Structure 1
Amino acid sequence: MLQDKDRMTLAVVDDHPIVIEGLLKLLDNKEHLRVAGSFTAGAAFWTFIKSNKVDIVLLDISLPDMNGMDLCKDIKLMHPGICVLILSNHSERSIILQALQNGASGYLLKNASAAELIACIQQALSGQIAFSKEVREIIARPSLTELKGIPSLTKREKEILHLISEGHTTAGIAEQLSLSPLTIETHRRNLLQKFEVKNVAALIKLAVQHGLV
C-alpha cells in the first residue's frame, strides 16, 4: 500500500456540503489519492494552500464568497503546480473556454459519471487537459456567434466599446472623447448592429467572449 507521502493530495471546493460528501466517499478508497481537505468557501481553501501541499483541486465556479473562475486564475498564478479541475453545473461553451484560459487543467459537469471523474483526475495529474464526455461535445460545437466571427471595428468603435463596457454614459463618453452625444449614440447603434444584438448588456457579453474588452 502507498504511504501518504507517496499519494497525490486532492482538495474539494464546493458550496454544497452534500456534493463534497459524495465526492469524498467516491475518492476514499483510491490508493493513489489522499484527500487533503474539503471547503465550502474559496477563502478557506486559499488560506489552506498557503501552508499545505495540494496536487489537484476539484473546484466549483459558484462559491459564496468569490468567483471560482477568479480563484482558479489566482491559484495558477501563485501555485502553478496545482492542477485545477473545474466541476460545475455551468455548461456554457464560453465559460468552459474561459476556465481553460484561466489555467484550469480540465472541466467536468456535475452529471459526469464516477468513472469519468477518476479518469479526468488521472489525466490532469499526468499533465493532460481533461474533459468529461459532455464537455468534450460542447467544445466541439461552436456557437453561432463564434461561427460568424468577430465584427470588423474601427479604432473609434473599439475605443467607445471599451468605455461602454466600463459603464460610462453617452454624455460621459462624449465629454471624454470631445465628441457630441449624437455622434456617440450613432457609434453605439452601429456597434449593436455589427454585433447583431438589441441591447448594451448583450453587446458587452459578446465583446467579452471575443476578448475585445
Structure 2
Amino acid sequence: MNTRKKRLAVLEDHLIVVEGMRHHLEDWGFKVLDHYSCGNDFLNALKRGESYDLLIMDLGIPNTNTENLIVRLRRDYSWLKVLILTGLSHSSTLTRYMNMGASGFVGKMAGNDELALAIRLVLNGEKYIDSRLSVNNFSHTEDPFERLTPREIQVFKLLILGKSYRDIAVELFIEVNTVGSFRTRIARKLGADSINDLRLIAAQYGQI
C-alpha cells in the first residue's frame, strides 16, 4: 500500500495536538490534508466534495455529537475509515463505537509509531484497538461514581449539563477556581479527558 496517496483528515479542537500529529505522520509518509475543530465543519466539507480515506478524530470535540457523527459517516460515506483517539478504556464504550462504524481506537498516550501502525492497519481494512484500551478501567461490579465525594458528584452533574465554571460556582457558593480543581479531580478519578468523556461515562452508568 502506498500511504502517500491516502488522504487523511483530523477532527481535533487542540491545534497544538494537530500540528504535532501532522509533523510526525508526514515523517512516516502520510499526508494530513485538513484539520477540523467541529463535526459539522467536517460534514460540510464532505458535502462540498472533499474526499478522504481516513478521519482521525477525538471523542471530546466541542459542539459535536460523536456518536451521531460516526453513524452518519458510516451511512453516507461508507468508504471513509474512522480512527478514534481517546483516553477512555471502557470496553462497552469501545464496543458501541465499533458497532457504529469506527475502525479503530488509539489511546492518547500512544507513541507516534503506534499511531502510524494503527493508521496503516485501518487503511488496509483491518480493525485496531490499542492494547491499553482493551481492558475496562473498572470492574464489572464497581460503580466508578463511588470514587467521587458528594461535592464532586454535584459538580459532575452540573458539568455534564454544560454549565460554565462561573454558573457552577454561583449555584454551589464556591470559587470559580475551586470548580476547576473539582473538574480536574473528577476527570482523574473517572479516567476522562474531556466533558464529552464525562458524558459518555455518565450515560454508560445510568447517570443521565
CA distance in 2 between counterparts of 1:63 and 1:128 reads 25
CA distance in 1 between counterparts of 2:40 and 2:65 reads 11
CA distance in 2 between counterparts of 1:203 and 1:15 reads 22
CA contact (8 A) 2:86 2:108 kept: yes
What amino acid is aligned across from residue 33 of structure 2 in structure 1? Answer: A
CA distance in 1 between counterparts of 2:18 and 2:34 reads 10
1:144 aligns with 2:132: no
1:36 aligns with 2:28: no
> TM-score with structure 1 length normalisation?
0.61
CA distance in 1 between counterparts of 2:40 and 2:82 reads 16
More relative contact order in 1 or in 2 (CA 8 Å, sep 6+)?
2
64, 67, 70: which one aligns with 2:65: 67
CA distance in 2 between counterparts of 1:24 and 1:204 reads 33
Aligned partner of residue 127 in structure 1, secondary structure:
coil
99, 102, 107: which one aligns with 2:100: 102
CA contact (8 A) 1:105 1:130 kept: yes
Give the corresponding residue for 2:90.
92
Give the corresponding residue for 1:123.
121
Q: CA deviation at 1:143?
A: 4.3
CA distance in 2 between counterparts of 1:48 and 1:95 reads 28
- Sequence identity of aligned pairs in percent? 26
CA distance in 1 between counterparts of 2:72 and 2:38 reads 15
What amino acid is aligned across from residue 122 of structure 2 in structure 1? Answer: A
Give the corresponding residue for 2:46.
49
66, 83, 88: which one aligns with 2:81: 83
- Worse overlay, 43-52 or 77-86: 43-52
What amino acid is aligned across from residue 140 of structure 2 in structure 1? Answer: L
> TM-score with structure 2 length normalisation?
0.63
CA 1:47/1:203 → structure 2, altered by over 3 Å: closer, same or farther?
Answer: closer
CA contact (8 A) 1:109 1:132 kept: yes
CA 1:94/1:28 → structure 2, altered by over 3 Å: closer, same or farther?
Answer: same
Cα shift readout 1:124-146 (whole Å, capped 9, x = no counterpart): 0111111122123x16x89425x
Q: CA deviation at 1:40?
A: 1.1
CA distance in 2 between counterparts of 1:207 and 1:8 reads 40
Q: CA deviation at 1:206?
A: 5.3
Structure index of larger Rg: 1
Q: CA deviation at 1:20?
A: 1.0
Give the corresponding residue for 1:10.
8
Any unmatched runs of 5+ in structure 2?
142-200
Aligned partner of residue 49 in structure 1, secondary structure:
helix
CA 1:112/1:47 → structure 2, altered by over 3 Å: closer, same or farther?
Answer: same
Aligned partner of residue 28 in structure 2, secondary structure:
coil
Aligned partner of residue 106 in structure 2, secondary structure:
strand
CA contact (8 A) 2:88 2:133 kept: no
What's the RMSD between the two structures over aligned residues?
2.7
Q: How many pairs align?
A: 147
CA contact (8 A) 1:59 1:68 kept: no
What amino acid is aligned across from residue 42 of structure 2 in structure 1? Answer: F
CA distance in 2 between counterparts of 1:27 and 1:19 reads 12
